[in-house]
Amino acid sequence: MPDAVPAAADATPPVLRRPVVDVPTEDVAVVGDAARLPGEHRGGFQRAMTEPVPITQPVHTEVRWAPPPPAPLPRSAGWAMTFAILGLLVSFLVGWGFLIGLVGAGFAIVALRRPWERRGVALWALCLSLLSLVYSAGWLWWASMQANLFG
C-alpha cells in the first residue's frame, strides 16, 4: 500500500501519494524486456565488481575403505622351541620331563606343516624335543633298573 500522509487533527481522509520510480543509472544496461526463464540472468550488470567470480575446480578426493586386517595366523614354532628347551632342561635333572618334550615335539611337527612358520626354529625345536625324550627315557630306564622293576 502506498505511503499515506499523516492525517490532520480534523477528520479529513488521508491523501495518497503515487510511488516514484527512479531512472536507471548509466552503469546498468538493460538487455531486452525480460528474462526468458524466471530467475535467469538478464546480463544487465557489466561492472567488474558485479560480474561472476570464477570458481576453482573442486578437488575430488576418493575415500577408500581398507578391508579389515586379516586375523593373525597361529604361530607354534616359538612355543615348540620354548617347550623343547624347557623339556631338555628338566630331562637333565629328572626323567619325568618327557611330557614336556612330547608337547614340544607336537608343536614342532605342527609348525613344520604350516608354510608361514619359521622352518629353522621348528627344526631346532623338533631336534631338541627328541633329545629331551632320549634323556628322559634314559633316566626312566636307569630308575627302573635301580628299583628292580623289570627283572
The domain limits of the chain are 77-146
* Residue 95 confidence class, pLDDT cut points 50, 70, 90: confident
Of residues 39 and 112, the one with the higher pLDDT is 112
Percent of the chain with pLDDT over 70: 68
Q: Would the pTM count as exceeding 0.75?
A: no
Is pLDDT of 24 > 90? Answer: no
> Rounded CA gap, 122 and 111, in Å?
6
Is pLDDT of 11 > 60? Answer: yes
Given this model, what pLDDT does residue 123 score?
A: 96
Of residues 66 and 40, the one with the higher pLDDT is 66
Lowest-confidence region among 21-25, 44-48, 94-98: 44-48
Rounded to an integer, the average pLDDT of 105-131 is 94
* Residue 105 confidence class, pLDDT cut points 50, 70, 90: very high
Given this model, what pLDDT does residue 96 score?
A: 81
